[in-house]
Amino acid sequence: MCNYLDKVGSTYYFRRAVPDGVRPFIRTASGAARTEWKFSLHTKDRDRAKRLVPSHTLATDAQIDAAREQAQAAQQTPQAVPQALSPRAEAMAAATWEAGLESALVESRAIAEKDHRREDVARLIAFLEGRLRGSTAEMPRGLRAFRYILDGVNFDRDRLKEKLRTAKALPGALVASTPVQTNEHTDAAPIEGAAATGGGTMLDTTVVDLWAAERKPVQKGIDTHRAVARWFYEREGQIPVDRITRKQVLSFKNKLVAEGQSPANINMKLSRLRTLLQWAFNNDHTSANVADGITIKDTDRARNQRLPFDLPALRQIFSGPVHTKGIRPAGGKGEAAYWLPLLALFTGARLARIIHRER
């Protein structure tokens, strides 16, 4: 049995009562005496919730210990003889207590509603991810747009998580990485291990800037390529582009796999890294594109590939009234109902591409 673990709906909460003797010394945000701690652990997995409980237990233990010290100090201090409250003062005190209780209830309801909304959004995202698996080349145009949006949201979320993780692990990293102001112009801070003569061309600064100036992608494209270069540096170290090896790119891929990222996201990052290294190779910043050919097998994509029609299916399609009796159904777009299947059969192209060409 795990103490202080509570479940509301499918979400686990940390819940612990405040000991009676210290309640006046532990207050809620509204100023009322706290009777319990209760907050969401933001997970539906019991094992993960159990792992989160000990840290919250220690934090609340510290608050209880501090409150007990305050209570002991209050007992040792001579207390003035309490004066009887007037009926008016008693009414005001009761009203204040009720207002604090109502505020705590409103706060608790707001937290519960937010958790339920988060669960609804999580279910919707899971549904969309299930519908949008596989190759975008095989998707209708509408679903393809949603897939690109979802990939962008996931990538932005991953970038934010990475920044938060780095900020927690290295609280002084931002200050330490700030270039020292000198009288000479520099593109970036000195890189540890770089050559003494100039420090080399860096992937996340010089290469991205020059690539963007030449190719002129949209700003989000620049940001995502720069982010991938920084992801690489955070895992493999600050290396000038001409010193990046194939072994380091493979190590980068393996670390992304170990972090639990999806094959689609890993391939997207590797593709952007390849783009930058190919540009660097084409412009004599490095002797080879060491990321060329490095990918990860996407089992979801293979599983969702569409199979070709077999002979019985083709016979059924072309033995229908459109091809045997010359009938043109009202909803079949006239001659398109006859010609599009034939073009698809003899060219092997997808219907979406043929229709696009016809338009």
Check if the beta carbon of residue 42 is closer than 8 Å to that of residue 9. no
Both structure tokens of 249: 């790119």
Residues 27 and 93 in one domain: yes
Is residue 48 one of the residues assigned to a domain? Answer: yes
Among 102, 105, 117, residue whose Cα is nearest residue 9: 117
76-85, 118-127, 315-324, 331-340: range with highest mean pLDDT: 315-324
Q: Does 111 share its domain with 226?
A: no
pLDDT digits (tens, 9 = 90+) for 15-37: 999 998 888 888 887 778 888 88
Query: What is the domain range of residue 348?
Result: 311-358
341 lies in the same domain as 272: no
pLDDT for residue 136: 60
Residue 221 included in any domain:
yes
For the chain, how many structural domains are there in total?
Answer: 4
- Using CA atoms, how far apart are residues 268 and 263, in angstroms rounded to an integer? 8
What's the rounded Cα separation, in Å, for the pair 33 and 266? 50
Residue 13 falls within a domain, yes or no? yes
pLDDT of residue 180: 41
pLDDT of residue 197: 33
- For residue 84, is it within any domain? no
Residue-wise pLDDT for 153-164, tens only, equals 677 676 677 667
327 and 274 belong to one structural domain: no
Helix (H) or strand (E) holding 164: helix 141-169
Q: Is residue 244 part of a domain?
A: yes
Q: How confident is the model at residue 347 (pLDDT cuts 50, 70, 90)?
A: confident
| Residues 63 and 40 occupy one common structural domain | yes
> Considering the domain boundaries, does residue 326 fall inside one?
yes
The answer to whether residue 44 is domain-embedded is: yes
> Which two three-digit tokens encode residue 164?
């938060």
* Shared-domain flag, residues 253 and 281: yes
Q: If you average pLDDT over every residue of the chain, what do you get?
A: 76
CATH assignment at residue 277: 1.10.150.130
Residue 249 near residue 291, CB atoms below 8 Å: yes
CA–CA distance, 262 with 43 (Å, rounded to integer): 20
Q: Are residues 269 and 316 in the same domain?
A: no
Residues 354 and 294 in one domain: no
Distance of CA 224 to the CA centre of its chain: 14
What is the per-residue pLDDT across 225-270, written as a single tens digit (0 to 9) for each?
999 999 899 999 999 999 999 999 999 999 998 888 888 889 889 9
User: Is 176 domain-assigned?
Assistant: no
